[in-house]
A and B are shown apart, each in its own frame.
Chain A
Amino acid sequence: MKKRGDFLFIEKNGDVYTLSMTPELQDDIGTVGFVEFIDEDTLEVGGAILNLEASKTVLELASPLAGKIVERNESVTNEPTLLNSAKSEDNWVVKLTNVDESVFNELEEA
């Protein structure tokens, strides 16, 4: 099941929620040149996932869901333009668990 919130896609597979870039967000920020993940593993709604510098803006990417980060797409640190990719296997950001499913269900359909 796939939803969207805070300019990100959220795909649910069992208990794991994968956040990835939407085309609208990609258009808004331009080519990404620098990515730095936040070290903290526990996310609040609106909490920072990472900071990025792109051709059109410098942005702190905020999470639409509270949860625990279980995996980060570390390859975007070395290759930031992966976040500009159209493929979700490239442009995913983090995987979360401990997400309140009812909050997820209330998000907009993707």
Chain B
Amino acid sequence: MNQEEKLDYLIAYLKEETIHACSQASVDEKISLFRGLCNVREPIPVSTDFLKIQNQFLSAWNHERPTVSINDLKAAQHQLYIWQGDITRLAVDGIVNAANSELLGCTLANHHCIDNIIHTRAGVQLRLDCYEIMQQQGRKEAAGKAKITKGYNLPANYVIHTVGPFIDSRGVSLLKERLLASCYEASLKLADEYQLSTIAFCCISTGEFNFPNQRAAEIAVQTVKAYIHKTQSEIQVIFNVFKDEDLHIYESLLAKKE
């Protein structure tokens, strides 16, 4: 065997192993395998048969858990809501994804981040849409901007993708604060352009991007209120939290009426 033939043999062997492992796996393990394969999948065209089966599977899988709509929530303040849980359960007009500057979704197999679960549950079409947007743009996505795609198999109609500022060891700076506020403004502006009646924000920049939770929530609430005040927008805004820490922070911030 020459070098190339050796590689062909090795790749075929490893692929065979994966197929064998899959046939032995439980349904949950198969979901992980499927998710992981979608996460690392290149943004290349996909067959209509794949899409048909994928959409059937995702639609059923996404509705195994009860979805949550705005009518299930009680406003914390006029137009403002808090909801704790997985953002992909929200049956609202738009959910906001904390993306990275490649804007193609998380490419780490089964990584526990919001970008990963949103892309997984939406389906491979989401990455294909994002890829097209990025091809047209011709450069990486700047922090503090927003792009919109359909939600595909998610209970939400649209996904707004925004890149938050990354906080390194030097900590939060004025520019980073400004960029975080800009994520909220740009997303709201886009949501209003598309006439979305409800938008759900995740806690942008607070996870992998290290923005301190309290300060991030203050900026989020302040920016959303200022936007609504300035534009008289009637959009309903859900602050979607995942961790208890963020729930307490948002509850305390929205308990104060101004």
Please state if A28 and B176 are interface contacts (CB–CB under 8 Å): yes
A25 within 8 A of B: yes
Residue of B nearest to A46 (CB): B182
Query: Which one of A50-58, A64-72, A80-88 is at the interface?
Result: A50-58
Residue of A nearest to B163 (CB): A58
B63-74 vs A: 1/0 string, CB under 8 Å? 000000000000
B159-200 vs A: 1/0 string, CB under 8 Å? 000010110101001111001000000000000000000000
A31, B11: Cα distance in complex, Å: 38
Residues of chain A with a CB closer than 8 A to B174's CB? 7, 24
Residues of chain B with a CB closer than 8 A to A34's CB? 139
Residue of A nearest to B144 (CB): A60
Closest Cβ of chain A to B138, distance in Å, is 8
Closest Cβ of chain B to A38, distance in Å, is 12
Name 23 interchain pairs, CB-CB below 8 A, sorted by A. Answer: A7-B175, A24-B173, A24-B174, A25-B175, A27-B170, A27-B173, A28-B173, A28-B175, A28-B176, A51-B139, A51-B142, A53-B101, A53-B140, A56-B168, A57-B101, A57-B165, A57-B166, A58-B139, A58-B163, A59-B179, A60-B142, A60-B144, A60-B145
Q: How many A-B residue pairs have CB under 8 A?
A: 38
Residue of B nearest to A28 (CB): B175
B135-155 vs A: 1/0 string, CB under 8 Å? 000011111110000000000
Residue of A nearest to B142 (CB): A60
A residues sitting closer than 8 Å to B (CB atoms) are 7, 24-25, 27-28, 34, 36, 51, 53, 56-60
Residues of chain A with a CB closer than 8 A to B140's CB? 53, 58
Please state if B143 and A57 are interface contacts (CB–CB under 8 Å): yes
Please state if A58 and B173 are interface contacts (CB–CB under 8 Å): no
- By CB atoms of chain B within 10 A, which of A34, A57, A59 has the most? A57
Residues of chain B with a CB closer than 8 A to A57's CB? 101, 143, 165-166, 179
A27, B176: Cα distance in complex, Å: 12
Closest Cβ of chain B to A61, distance in Å, is 9
Residues of chain A with a CB closer than 8 A to B144's CB? 60
Residue B143 contacts which of A7, A25, A59 (CB distance < 8 angstroms)? Answer: A59
Closest Cβ of chain B to A32, distance in Å, is 13
A51, B139: Cα distance in complex, Å: 9
Residues of chain B with a CB closer than 8 A to A60's CB? 142, 144-145
Residues of chain B with a CB closer than 8 A to A25's CB? 175
Residues of chain A with a CB closer than 8 A to B163's CB? 58
Residues of chain A with a CB closer than 8 A to B141's CB? 58
Residue of B nearest to A55 (CB): B168
Please state if A56 and B166 are interface contacts (CB–CB under 8 Å): yes
Residues of chain A with a CB closer than 8 A to B143's CB? 57-59
Given known contacts A57-B165, A58-B139, A58-B141, what 4 new A-B pairs fall within 8 Å (CB)? A7-B174, A27-B170, A28-B175, A51-B139
Which 9 residue pairs spanning A and B have beta carbons closest together? A60-B142, A58-B101, A58-B140, A28-B175, A58-B142, A28-B173, A59-B142, A57-B143, A53-B140
Residue of B nearest to A22 (CB): B175
Residue of B nearest to A53 (CB): B140
A36, B170: Cα distance in complex, Å: 27
Residues of chain A with a CB closer than 8 A to B166's CB? 56-57
Closest Cβ of chain B to A69, distance in Å, is 19
Residues of chain B with a CB closer than 8 A to A24's CB? 173-175
Residues of chain B with a CB closer than 8 A to A7's CB? 174-175
